[in-house]
Amino acid sequence: APLDVPSYAGMPEAEAVAAIVDYGLTVGTIAREYSAAAVGTVIGQDPAVGTSVPAGTAVNLVVSDGPAPVLVMIPDDLLGIWWEDAIPPLLQLPVAPRSIYEETGIMAPGLVLRLENSAGETLLAGDLVEKNSEVVIVVAIAPGTMPDK
C-alpha cells in the first residue's frame, strides 16, 4: 500500500532519519543550508508532506547549518602604520584584534608587519573574514629584542 509522506520539519536530523526508516521509507540525500533554524534541524524535504509514495521511497532532507557567517572586509592602509593605530579600524568591523611580535630588520619597530587570521594565514586588504573572528596584528620589533613570553 502506498504511504503518505509525513512532515519531518523541525526534527533533529537523527530523529528524522530514524522516523523515515521506521515509517517504511528510506533516507535519500541530506543537504545542508544556512538557515535561521537551529543547527541540525530539518528545514526541507522531498517528496513533500502528504505525497503518496510506495514503501521504500527515498526521502531527501535539507538540514539547517545555522545562520550564514557574516563576513567583513579587511581595510586598506593598515600595513606599516603604528600598531596601536590599526586597532580601532579592526574593532569597527568588528573583529577581535590581538598583537604578536616578530623580529625584523625590514620595518621600524612598532609598525604593522602584516595581519593574520587565527590559523596564521596572511590577510590582505580586501580579504573577507568572519565578523568577530580573531585578527592577529604582527608587530615589527628589532632583531634580538623579542620580549620574554
In whole angstroms, what is the distance from residue 78 CA to residue 105 CA?
Answer: 19
CA 50 vs. chain centroid, Å, equals 35
Q: What angle do CA 128, 118, 86 make, to 5 degrees?
A: 65
Q: Is the peptide bond before 67 cis (omega within 30 degrees of 0)?
A: no
Q: pTM for the full model?
A: 0.63
Q: Is the peptide bond before 94 cis (omega within 30 degrees of 0)?
A: yes
pLDDT in tens, 3-37: 999 999 999 999 999 999 999 999 999 999 999 99
pLDDT in tens, 40-51: 999 999 999 999
